[in-house]
Structure 1
Amino acid sequence: MTDDPEPTADGSGPTADAIAGLSRSDPLAAVSPLDGRYAGRTAPLSPYASEAALMRARTRVEVEYLLALGGLDAIPIGFDEATEAALRRIYEEFDAEDARLIKALETEGAAGYDATNHDVKAVEYFLRVRLAEVAEEGESGAGESGAGESDAGEASDAPLDDAESLYPWIHFGLTSEDVNNLAHRLLVKPAVSEVIVPAVREVRDALVELAQDHRDTPMLARTHGQPATPTTFGKEMAVYAARLGRALGRVVVANEDLSGKLAGASGTFAAHRAAYPDVDWRGFSESFVRGLELEHTALATQVNPCDDLAALFDALRGVNNVLLDLDLDAWLYVSDRYLGQEAVEGETGSSTMPHKVNPIDFENSEGNLSKANSDLTFLADYVTTSRLQRDLSDSTVKRNVGAALAHCLIGYSKAADGLGKVVPNETVMREELDATPEVIGEAVQTVLRREGDTEAYERVKELSRGRSVTLDDFRELFDELDVDDGVREELKTLTPAGYTGFADELVDEIDGVGGPADE
């Protein structure tokens, strides 16, 4: 039985009447902001995450399974190329009318069938309806083309002669989970590869551009919130780009490893073997699943173990955690005026403070990625457990995978928006460096160690720790040191802005530039 056989809400009732004139299809009436406020940003996921998309994917699995059965010598059905093409068009040309018919078959009955209260059974009856229509179209076409023909056998090229004879073979030997586990993965896999991965790459590309453009822009680093050895803004962006590239690579691998199961009600092929004991059903199953471009799960209960989905969800959390770190740092850089933001014409930053240009994109990204991580953690933990050989609690949970991906997508797009608006404030960065000359203390004591000074660290600590110092204070120290004049001059050339090590060159170490993460 379906987990939620409730009739589609028609918008009637006292609650719906509270806002007159809004239909349920209006984004302003959406229960979730994913389909309301953020509908424009989440729209690319609709072909993979909607209920209609799941119906289409189930239809695809059922049609392809029927065609695969027709390829077995033991099964008394077969299809020529025209018939195969006609059957595939059922899911290839799947539209809103088809989705509504399936929903009607499930919830209220249609086309002569009582309400199934079962979503997969509704797809089976839907296929019966469509097969009958294909047969009728074939008969009509054959009648027209056969007018005046002397040979009745040559007059008919109908793709399907007898639809009813195929009815027993739709969903033959299958359990709903055989269809569902494949259908869900046939949606998740392209959703990730066609929508999620490109969105992450857009953020990464923006980071790479910032890193390359500002590889030489010196900036004060902070550890524990306190001034630390200087870096460059470009190098810091390169760190995020490299991390994101590696995390994205793990998502790509996990997505490619999605695995499907087709083995019957307890994972034993019992019904298949009872009907046709001499057919190699195990080999058939593997061939069928791999034909859908999924890996094959040979050992399963009724449920396909969802360790593959859990690995994907965890990999996505890895991407999100990198970007959450970026969002937090970008917010702080804006707060410290290291980053300026280009004002959007007509945009309001505050309802009461007209001057405000707030880091709303990074804040929105942070919120959505945090929500996504909460959902992904729940999904990864939940879908990997099932009571004994099967229980239905995961069915409603899996319907929320699209919502988790949608929060990811919003977070990625908002992070990209934020990066597109920021402008490094080199003047502020330089002023802050000039105001914290104590950060060259590390370099000073290291050079003195090189020269054999056993008290190097202590000398610099006594001068600078917890005190306000200037470059002149350091130069006075240098003049007092018992070192060669060459070393003294070397020390005097040290400045905070020039003390960035190989930061500019490290930008070229971004993993994946020109490599797998960009392919």
Structure 2
Amino acid sequence: MAESARFSLASEPLALGALDGRYRSAVAPLVDYLSEAALNRDRVHVEVEWLIHLTANSVLPGTAPLEDEQVAALRKIVTDFDGESVSELAEIEAVTVHDVKAVEYYIGRRLEAIGIGELKPLVHFGCTSEDINNLSYAVGIKGAVEDVWLPAARALVEQITKMAEETREVPMLSRTHGQPATPTTLGKELAVIAWRLARQLDRIGRTEFLGKINGATGTYAAHYASVPGADWQQVAKGFVEGLGLTWNPLTTQIESHDWQAELYADVARFNRILHNVCTDIWSYISIGYFAQIPVAGATGSSTMPHKVNPIRFENAEANLEISNGLLDTLAATLVTSRWQRDLTDSSSQRNIGTAFGHSLLAISNVAKGLDRLDVAEDVLAADLDTNWEVLGEAIQMVMRAEAIAGVDGMENPYERLKDLTRGHRVDAERMKEFVSSLGLSADAEARLLALTPGSYHGIAPALVDHLK
């Protein structure tokens, strides 16, 4: 059979992955921090700042601080970095077959025009590639987390917190092990979610982004061989901290990436909690606790017009799983390097943007999904009213308290409630009859007779205040 002819798309400028195609708009802010182009711009930034740092402190004999105009011109190399810069770097790298060496040459080409051509030997001075790479990744990841991912995650937690405040008084049947249990309020359950997510964001917000610039094996050997009179540890520490990072004083050729593993574990934990939120909201939608507000013109099902599918939460689940698959792999592999250096981290770290991209996309999906929910209070109330047996816990505990207080006839409270409620539906009338037959003190009987499944939720509404 002849093969069917088809047009090849390989030569077209099309995205291979969903993040650069279908979902580009949701993750676009990360491109300025975690793309390959952003990595190269940050490499240029680190190299330029190292040159400025060495001259500003006159670390090498024969150097002096640059003029303000020269410093501004050097930094303009970074701020002017654009698509043409990316292409030029690619052309240089095609010759060097080395990405960081290409950055060194790229900067060197521009020094004559700034009037400091004689400082070309100072570009990349004392550095191994990983000195530049570890700092560039740290700068990019820090920016992505602090400027993009954390604000989106915090906005989602604020959204859930607002929902918790608005629904703090709305009673809801709990389901432990999938079965009717002591009631709660919708607001309190949403507050639990907000509290859990906020704790993880607090941990992530306190991340230390480490960096080093200490040479081929972390010994400053080339530094002291060339300029033995400099205090290279202080030079390195001041430079790293000047980039907004935390100095790591003890490394091999690579910065050990432990901080990255810690960060990815925390982000993955946030993702897992959010995944749990998605499955719970999905389940509440399925039993009618939430109604989804239709989007005008949107199709829920291609064949069933009545349906509004909870696609935002389902899509978020998938993206959180993909994100965690990458984050878990990064956290597990980046902490290992053979002897003083191997290159496995070079390939691994190129997936950091993808990991954060899928998490950011999931956060966006959940926020949009929550925004299209209505609380079906009538459904929640009806569910409570058909489960009067959940008051069995309250009744038997009151009976225990009465027994301690010396009231006769309070023996075997658990067993008596089990006989009444297990495997049986108990309505309001039957429950009140049972309470009235127990011989409780007048006060205890009045309290139980006034109790309903909808009012039996303890201090649930007040617990929402812990979010303040």
Residue 250 in structure 1 maps to residue 207 in structure 2: no
Q: Which residue of 2 aligns with 1:153?
A: none
1:72 maps to a residue whose letter is S
Deviation string, structure 1 residues 87-134 (Cα, Å, up to 9, x no partner): 111112211111111111002xxxxxxx000000000110111223x2
Q: Which residue of 2 aligns with 1:69?
A: 54
Identity in percent: 44
User: Using the alignment, how far apart are the partners of 1:269 and 1:16 within structure 2?
Assistant: 58
1:61 maps to a residue whose letter is V
Residue 404 in structure 1 maps to residue 393 in structure 2: no
Q: Which residue of 2 aligns with 1:424?
A: 375
User: Using the alignment, how far apart are the partners of 1:285 and 1:432 within structure 2?
Assistant: 65
Q: Which residue of 2 aligns with 1:209?
A: 162
Classify the secondary structure of the residue corresponding to 2:183. strand
Counterpart selection for 1:471 from 398, 422, 428:
428
User: Using the alignment, how far apart are the partners of 1:345 and 1:326 within structure 2?
Assistant: 26
User: Using the alignment, how far apart are the partners of 1:486 and 1:273 within structure 2?
Assistant: 85
Q: Which residue of 1 aligns with 2:314?
A: 363
Counterpart selection for 2:456 from 477, 485, 499:
499
Q: Give TM-score, length-normalised by structure 1.
A: 0.86
1:62 maps to a residue whose letter is E
User: Using the alignment, how far apart are the partners of 1:323 and 1:16 within structure 2?
Assistant: 42
User: Using the alignment, how far apart are the partners of 2:433 and 2:132 within structure 1?
Assistant: 79
Q: Which residue of 2 aligns with 1:99?
A: 86
Classify the secondary structure of the residue corresponding to 1:399. helix
Counterpart selection for 1:18 from 8, 19, 27:
8
Classify the secondary structure of the residue corresponding to 1:340. strand
Classify the secondary structure of the residue corresponding to 1:82. helix
Q: Which residue of 2 aligns with 1:339?
A: 290
Are the structure 2 counterparts of residues 360 and 259 from structure 1 closer, same or farther at C-alpha, using a change threshold of 3 Å?
same
Q: Which residue of 1 aligns with 2:76?
A: 89
Counterpart selection for 2:224 from 273, 276, 287:
273
2:465 maps to a residue whose letter is D
Displacement, 1:490?
2.1
User: Using the alignment, how far apart are the partners of 2:293 and 2:397 within structure 1?
Assistant: 41
Q: Would you say the 8 A contact 1:261–1:297 is kept in 2?
A: yes
Q: Which residue of 2 aligns with 1:11?
A: none
**Structure 1 gaps, min length 5:** 1-14, 108-114, 136-159, 514-519
Deviation string, structure 1 residues 257-302 (Cα, Å, up to 9, x no partner): 1100110000000111110111111111111100101000000000
Q: Would you say the 8 A contact 1:69–1:75 is kept in 2?
A: no
Displacement, 1:19?
3.9
Q: Which residue of 1 aligns with 2:105?
A: 125
1:463 maps to a residue whose letter is L
Deviation string, structure 1 residues 325-367 (Cα, Å, up to 9, x no partner): 1101000000010000100011111111111101100111111
Classify the secondary structure of the residue corresponding to 1:231. strand
- Alignment of structure 1 residues 374-385 onto 2, 5 Å: 374-385=325-336
Counterpart selection for 1:325 from 245, 260, 276:
276
- What is the root-mean-square deviation of aligned Cα atoms in Å? 1.4
- Which 4+ runs in 1 deviate beyond 3 A? none
Q: Which residue of 2 aligns with 1:55?
A: 40
1:343 maps to a residue whose letter is P
Deviation string, structure 1 residues 168-227 (Cα, Å, up to 9, x no partner): 111111100000000001000010011100111121111111101111100000000000
Q: Which residue of 2 aligns with 1:179?
A: 132
User: Using the alignment, how far apart are the partners of 1:16 and 1:245 within structure 2?
Assistant: 51
**Structure 2 gaps, min length 5:** 404-409
Displacement, 1:438?
0.3
Q: Which residue of 1 aligns with 2:23?
A: 38
Q: Which residue of 1 aligns with 2:96?
A: 116
Are the structure 2 counterparts of residues 73 and 232 from structure 1 closer, same or farther at C-alpha, using a change threshold of 3 Å?
closer
Classify the secondary structure of the residue corresponding to 1:400. helix
1:476 maps to a residue whose letter is E
User: Using the alignment, how far apart are the partners of 1:126 and 1:232 within structure 2?
Assistant: 62
User: Using the alignment, how far apart are the partners of 1:381 and 1:19 within structure 2?
Assistant: 36
User: Using the alignment, how far apart are the partners of 1:331 and 1:302 within structure 2?
Assistant: 48
Residue 414 in structure 1 maps to residue 376 in structure 2: no
Q: Would you say the 8 A contact 1:221–1:228 is kept in 2?
A: yes
User: Using the alignment, how far apart are the partners of 1:300 and 1:485 within structure 2?
Assistant: 74
1:270 maps to a residue whose letter is A
Deviation string, structure 1 residues 463-492 (Cα, Å, up to 9, x no partner): 001112112221221222122333222221
Residue 393 in structure 1 maps to residue 338 in structure 2: no
Deviation string, structure 1 residues 374-402 (Cα, Å, up to 9, x no partner): 11000011111111000111101101101
Displacement, 1:370?
1.0
Classify the secondary structure of the residue corresponding to 1:31. coil
User: Using the alignment, how far apart are the partners of 2:106 and 2:362 within structure 1?
Assistant: 38
User: Using the alignment, how far apart are the partners of 1:454 and 1:66 within structure 2?
Assistant: 84
Counterpart selection for 1:224 from 168, 177, 188:
177
User: Using the alignment, how far apart are the partners of 1:353 and 1:241 within structure 2?
Assistant: 35
User: Using the alignment, how far apart are the partners of 2:427 and 2:363 within structure 1?
Assistant: 43
Greater shift after overlay, 279-288 or 89-98?
A: 89-98
Deviation string, structure 1 residues 481-508 (Cα, Å, up to 9, x no partner): 1223332222211100010110111111
User: Using the alignment, how far apart are the partners of 2:9 and 2:81 within structure 1?
Assistant: 34
Aligned length: 456
User: Using the alignment, how far apart are the partners of 1:119 and 1:208 within structure 2?
Assistant: 46
Displacement, 1:454?
3.4
Are the structure 2 counterparts of residues 403 and 368 from structure 1 closer, same or farther at C-alpha, using a change threshold of 3 Å?
same
Q: Which residue of 2 aligns with 1:455?
A: 412
User: Using the alignment, how far apart are the partners of 2:257 and 2:270 within structure 1?
Assistant: 20
Q: Would you say the 8 A contact 1:204–1:244 is kept in 2?
A: yes
2:256 maps to a residue whose letter is P
Classify the secondary structure of the residue corresponding to 1:185. helix
Q: Would you say the 8 A contact 1:105–1:122 is kept in 2?
A: yes
